[in-house]
Every structure is written in structure tokens, then in C-alpha cells.
Amino acid sequence: MAAALFVAAPGLATAAPFATPVLRAPAGGFEELTVPSSMGPIKVQVQWAARGGSSALYLLDGLRAPADHSQWTTDTDALRQFAGDNVTLVFPVGGHSSFYTDWYRPSSTNQQQITYKWETFLTEELPDFLASYGVSRTNNAIVGASMGGNAALVLAAHHRDQFRFAGSFSGFVNPTYPLWDQAMRAAMLDEGNFDVYDMWGPPTDPAWARNDATVQAELLRGLPIYVTSGNGVPGAFDLPNGLGDTVNAMGLEAMSATAAQIFRDRTTALGVSARVDILNGTHTWPYWQQALTTARPMILDALAASA
């Protein structure tokens, strides 16, 4: 119910009530917002809930996150999938090789000028900004592909008041696995010359465990979770790709599958409910589109956004 403001007027015993406007998100449509942050202005693409609902789904990009758009908007049919649903899609733009986490310092290997503070942005600055449009701070889901997969689970684990569903699609959800820091280091140096140790410090630093979804699995108890990975075996979606791209995508997905299996074993041992699917496929966007299709009814149910 809207709050009422009563103003005393001379000569009157009572005054007429004036209703305070209730914030409500726009009903449908696509928009690009500029959101203030400690990192500077961040572009965020949104597709507003079809009927002005307050729930939201955050979608995180992979390691190559472009500076001008979310790949979810160009490399998948996410916009079409949710066009009729009463949930706002939130696509943060940028975060190249960031793992959507708060770094200790700017990367020392590429003259980065700012310190990445993506966890702060996604859990404080962005929700506060979206609240001015009527988007809930507490009725949200989050999914991510590749780099964004582990981040989605970790953000949900540490911010249970914000997220009601979390999904990882081909995410490396066990970064503390022996020597995987070296694999991440090689990938980040290759993709923008970023230094992983400026992110979380050496592998012995507690930041690594804090940002490992498998280690933090207990914090996910009671949260609807969907983790999926390919097994590295090429499928129909790989046919248009060149051999080099396919071989690289096979190797990456084999690592992702190993991480998904470890996560499944960990949650099973803890008695934490999680759906984990390991299917045929490689590390490419068509499979993540397919994963989003599978996750969609789970997301809508968790957010009570089906109606």
C-alpha cells in the first residue's frame, strides 16, 4: 500500500492525503542504462519485465566480455526467450577477464588504471540503481557462462538476500583445484594480459577459497541451482566452427565437465540439492543458449514470475 503524506493547512482541521508514487519498472522494451560505480560509468543493457514486474535475472558474460554489449544479447536468443515473461533481464556490459569479483588491485601486467570491483557493483551499486526503476533488490536470479558461471554461484552464495536462483553454464566452479590457478593465469594473460594474482593473490590466499563455488557449496543450501557442462564431445552446434576453434572448445569444456563433476560430488556429500547436467557439447554459445532454455522454467518458478 502506498504511504500517505498529510500536510497541515491553515484553518483546516485535516488535510487531504497525497499518495507517494509507487515505483514500477517499465512494462517491456529494451534499454541501455549508464550506471555509476567505483569503476566509473558501467553500461547495463536491460529488457524490462513484460508486465512491469519487479523480479530480475542477471546474466554474466564469459572471459572475452566485450566493452560495448553483452554477448547474451547477440550470441543467444535470451531476449526472445523471456520477451513475454514478467522478469527484467539485466546484462552488465564489460568485465573482460574480471571473473566478476572484487580485485585486490589493478592488473600489473597490462597497465590497467582501475581496480575491478565487480562484486560490489553487482550486489550493491547496480541493485541500488535498478531499485529506482522498481526492480527488487531481493527477488533476483543470476546465471553466467564460462567465466561468469562460477561467479554466478559465488555471488549467490555470499548474497543470499539478493538471489533466489543461481546457474552456471560451462563454468570453472572449482578454481582451487590443483594447478587450475595456472590454467586461469594462462587464459587471463592470453585474454587481455591480466594477472590473476592481482585478482585474488597467490593460490594460498583465502580469496581463492571464498571465490570457489565448490568450496562454498554449503552456503548454497536451499537455493535452486542449475549447473551444466558439455563433456567436450563435439555436437551439432560445433559443425559451423573451424577445426581450431572446435579443438580449443573441446579442451575448455573437458575442464568444465571435471569441475561440474567435483561440484556434484561435493553437493551430494553435503546433502545440498543441485541439478547438475553433463551433456554432449563444447565450450560455445549455442550450448549456453540451450542451457538457458532448460533453466528458464526453474528461474521463473524461483522468482514467482510465471504469471
pLDDT in tens, 228-254: 998 888 877 876 555 556 667 677 888
On whether residue 105 sits in a domain, the answer given is yes
Q: Is residue 212 part of a domain?
A: yes
In the prediction, which pLDDT does 245 show? 61
The answer as to whether 51 is a domain residue is: yes
Q: Check residue 242 and give its pLDDT.
A: 53
Whether 283 is catalytic is: yes
Query: How high is the pLDDT of residue 15?
Result: 41
Q: What residue type is assigned to position 172 of the chain?
A: F
Structural contact between residues 24 and 134, judged by C-beta atoms closer than 8 angstroms: yes
What is residue 13's predicted lDDT score, i.e. its pLDDT? Answer: 40
| Residue 32 domain flag | yes
Split into its structural domains, the chain has a count of 1
Give catalytic status of residue 32 as yes or no: no
1 part of a folded domain: no
DSSP-derived 3-state class of residue 191: coil
CA 275 to chain centroid, in Å, comes to 17
pLDDT of residue 239: 64
**Could you say which of 107, 136, 168, 283 is catalytic?**
283
- 3-state class (DSSP) for residue 145: strand
Catalytic residue among 70, 107, 136, 146: 146
Whether residue 92 is contained in a domain is answered as yes
8 domain residue, yes or no: no
By residue range, what is the domain housing residue 179? Answer: 26-302
Residue 195's φ and ψ, nearest 5 degrees, are -105, 115
- What is the DSSP code (8-state) at residue 230? E
Q: CA–CA separation, 159 vs 145, rounded Å?
A: 19
> In terms of Cα–Cα distance, which of 119, 114, 188 is closest to 154?
119
Domain containing 118 — which CATH number?
Answer: 3.40.50.1820
17 in a structural domain: no
Residue closest to 261 by CA, chosen among 230, 220, 237, 240: 230
3-class SS at 42?
strand
Residue ranges in the chain modelled with pLDDT below 70: 1-25, 239-247, 249, 307
CA-CA distance, 213 to 232, in Å (whole number)? 21
What pLDDT score does 234 carry? 83
- 102-143 pLDDT per residue, tens: 999 999 999 999 999 999 999 999 999 999 999 999 999 999
Whether 159 is catalytic: no
At 236 the pLDDT is 77
Q: What per-residue confidence (pLDDT) applies to 21?
A: 41
